[in-house]
Amino acid sequence: MLNNIGIPGILLIAVVVLVLFGRGKVSSLMGEVGKGITAFKKGVNDGDKEITEAADVAKDVTPAEEKDKV
């Protein structure tokens, strides 16, 4: 169903959204979407950093006699 939208369909949808909500409302909505994407990327990077730091701190607790059996 949505496979055949194309450029004219997208433009028509954009015009309808602008007419219904107005330029100011759409602009503020897109600003909020941008802030959300930025916050999501920052959260992903912070999580990755925490995982990397935890991996660096992790230590091997295998008993010495068990290490030699490999």
User: Total domain count for the chain?
Assistant: 1
Supply the pLDDT for residue 11.
Answer: 92
Helix (H, G, I), strand (E, B) or coil at 18: helix
Question: What's the pTM value of the predicted model, to 2 decimals?
Answer: 0.54
For 25-63, the pLDDT digits (tens) are 888 888 999 999 999 999 999 999 988 888 777 777 777
Q: Does residue 41 form part of some domain?
A: yes
Residues of the domain holding 52: 23-57
Q: Does residue 27 form part of some domain?
A: yes
What whole-number distance in Å separates Cα of residue 18 and Cα of residue 55? 49
CB 18 within 8 A of CB 26: yes
